[in-house]
Chains A and B, each alone.
Chain A
């Protein structure tokens, strides 16, 4: 089935974060109107017990609809998808999402690097990768791959992050297209439907 590859005709915003990132997401997502031309995928490190609560919170506060991620769920513009805890989240060429329970990467599952790399391979220049607050090195390699594949890379300004290590690590190892404060990230996402 993956052989029937079609060029995705929509954009994907993939957001990775760890400690301190939920707070950032809750400043951004509730400000978004219903989105049309792109999908948002969120990969954050968290405890499995928080899982439902976070998705319910987004559903409650945001105008964008949340689609529950199950294996092989179609990825569609207009929706938010959140990587389930304890699985890596991967992207298939037929615009579906796959899950994987293989070894942790950067002590993490889901790993941001794994999802960024996989998304970059499928969505190429249609992909925007955003790395938020966190205290681990996950995400940096993924951002490099996104950039190599022609996608756009945004790193949260470490000065605006509760845990600056993760965005700092990215900035020290690559040149992001944008380094933005929380409100600027929101403006960037808002501009994507224009």
Chain B
């Protein structure tokens, strides 16, 4: 296990050499991730690892890709998607144009899930889905809409549990262990790199999804991100977080109203 002081040294050096600030990331998780890549890549001395990160930008990028968590799935928490389908989309559907933002979209599984819901509600044509992440590599995967075929059984169950009525396999073409999702779904997606630590608001949205991203941030950075979402949300827009995340430590109560027990808040002023 690397030492706390070593982790702090790495954070400082990365900031100094590359300008990327991990200083407000949750330490418990960050330490596990750094420790994992340190051992996977066969380092035995911390100095050696540090010097590789400093001197080799290619390796630095690889390290960042590996320490940011990119585990995601389609229709994760089906009950969440049931609420989106039955309660949120009918409201958004009354608008002439719908802007959505998936912040920290990783490889895009949730973005495609959302496109499927929009299509089934007949709203995809008037929607624009922005999908952002700090990690350029995962965005490339997301753009292609190619996911492992072995996951499709679970995803199709999630889809059905969320209230999906179609044959899920109609949404992709299976080929040599991969599932390529229909181009039609990606038509309204815009992918771009965006960093919640340092970048600012870039548009106004009707709904923002940021699920299981804030858990990697400390309270201060969570506050920054949630205020960035607040700046980017239209009044009566929605903010959707992961099932164990909350805005209550970050924003003044009264500005948002929570939907029942779901982690979806509506901006009311």
- Chain A residues near B (Cβ < 8 Å): 1-3, 69-72, 84, 87, 90-93, 98-103, 114, 118, 121
Contacts and interface: CB of A to CB of B under 8 A. Distances in A.
A95 to B, nearest CB: 12
A3 B222 CA distance: 17
A47 to B, nearest CB: 13
A99 B28 CA distance: 9
Contact of A1 (B32, B71, B216, B220): B220
A101 B77 CA distance: 13
A99 B69 CA distance: 12
Most A Cβ at <10 Å: residue of B8, B29, B218, B249: B29
B69 A71 contact: no
Given A99-B215, A121-B28, 8 more contacts: A2-B26, A3-B8, A71-B214, A84-B244, A92-B26, A101-B69, A101-B71, A102-B33
A92 to B, nearest CB: 5
Interface in B211-269: 212, 214-216, 218-220, 222, 242-246, 249
Given A71-B215, A98-B215, A103-B71, A90 B32 contact: yes
Given A71-B245, A98-B215, A103-B71, A90 B33 contact: no
B26 A118 contact: no
Contacts of A114: 32
A92 B71 contact: no
Contacts of A118: 28, 32
A1 B218 contact: yes
Interface in B67-98: 69, 71-72
B143 interface: no
A100 B244 contact: no
Contacts of B249: 72
16 contacts: A1-B219, A70-B246, A71-B214, A71-B242, A72-B219, A87-B244, A90-B26, A90-B28, A90-B29, A93-B27, A98-B28, A98-B215, A99-B212, A100-B28, A100-B69, A101-B215
A137 B245 CA distance: 30
A99 B245 CA distance: 9
B27 A100 contact: no
A81 B42 CA distance: 36
Contacts of A1: 218-220
Contacts of A3: 8
A69 to B, nearest CB: 7
Contacts of B212: 99, 101
Interface string B106-117: 000000000000
Contacts of A98: 26, 28-29, 215
A84 B245 CA distance: 12
A118 B33 CA distance: 12
Contacts of B243: 84
Contacts of A99: 212, 215, 244
Nearest to B29: A100
A101 B243 CA distance: 12
* 7 nearest CB pairs, A to B: A90-B28, A2-B27, A71-B215, A102-B69, A100-B29, A99-B215, A98-B26
Contacts of A102: 29, 32-33, 69, 71
Contact of B244 (A2, A70, A103): A70
A92 B244 contact: no
Interface string B170-194: 0000000000000000000000000
Given A2-B27, A92-B27, A69 B71 contact: no
Contacts of A93: 27
A87 B249 CA distance: 20
